[in-house]
Amino acid sequence: MSTEKDIASFREKLEAVSEWPSLYMFKFIVEAEKQDQIKVIFENHEVIVKPSSKGKYVSLTIKMLANSAEQIIEKYLETNKVKGVIAL
């Protein structure tokens, strides 16, 4: 999410399909050595780590009970600060 327009569009989609609180699943791919940076952002949430075949990358699946679309957007904006992270 790079622009205000993208964020507003994502917020509208979340609001259209969700009732709050709602269980939301995040998925990221990141270099293995950077996974702790993502885990810190999602402290106290379940994080499932799956390494790539060569171990250079990991996929992270995180389940979070969100109270609003804004909470989800804030997490995406925080993770976006980690260099090289790919949000799926």
- Is residue 63 within 8 A of residue 45, CB to CB? The reply is yes
The CB density around residue 88, as the number of other CB atoms within 10 Å, is 10
Q: Which pLDDT belongs to residue 17? A: 82
For position 2, what pLDDT does the model report?
61
Whether 1 shows a pLDDT value over 60: the answer reads no
pTM of the predicted structure, to 2 decimals: 0.88
| pLDDT value at 18 more than 70 | yes
Rounded alpha-carbon distances, angstroms, from residue 19 to 8, 9, 41, 55: 18, 17, 23, 37
CATH numeric code, 3-87: 3.30.70.260
Mean predicted confidence (pLDDT) in 47-64:
97
Look at residue 3 and tell me whether its pLDDT is greater than 90: no
